[in-house]
């Protein structure tokens, strides 16, 4: 299965610190995407990184992709209370977008 697995499953940090979440997958992919889900809400697309890219930035987000290790990381810098949410990586091969089980991130004030 190409399903991503996030690590850690839960992460709790102080406001202002950086948060790093990792994702590993099993098969070759076309792209990898990260989504955020606030409690009781739908998923919000954060960033897409293609298999021929190694790093991408968007505001306070930095995503890396290592296709040789079949892994990706999402770094959120200078975290804020509003970043508290679940973060999912999703891999796309030929067609389907397949999600991992997410990392629950809690930012403590």
Partner 1 sequence: DTAVSQTPKYLVTQMGNDKSIKCEQNLGHDTMYWYKQDSKKFLKIMFSYNNKELIINETVPNRFSPKSPDKAHLNLHINSLELGDSAVYFCASSQALGVGYGYTFGSGTRLTVV
The footprint of partner 1 (CB under 8 A) covers: 30-31, 33, 35, 37, 40-45, 48, 50, 86, 88, 92-99, 101-102
Cβ distance to partner 1 smaller for residue 78 or 96 = 96
| Two structure tokens written together for 36 | 């955020």
Closest among 27, 41, 29, 46 to 88, alpha carbons compared: 46
Closest among 64, 73, 91 to 4, alpha carbons compared: 91
Cβ distance to partner 1 smaller for residue 20 or 37 = 37
Asked whether 89 and 97 are in contact (CB, 8 A), the reply is: no
CB of 7 to partner 1, least distance (A): 15
CB of 16 to partner 1, least distance (A): 27
């Amino acid at each position: 299965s190409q399903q991503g697995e996030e690590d850690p499953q839960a992460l709790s940090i102080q406001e202002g610190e950086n948060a790093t979440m990792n994702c590993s997958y099993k098969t070759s992919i076309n792209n990898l995407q990260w989504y955020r889900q606030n409690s009781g809400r739908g998923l919000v697309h954060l960033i897409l990184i293609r298999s021929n890219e190694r790093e991408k930035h968007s505001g306070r987000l930095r995503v890396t992709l290592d296709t040789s290790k079949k892994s990706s990381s999402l770094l959120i810098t200078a975290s804020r209370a509003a970043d508290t949410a679940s973060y999912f990586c999703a891999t796309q091969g030929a067609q389907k977008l397949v999600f991992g089980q997410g990392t629950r991130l809690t930012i403590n004030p």
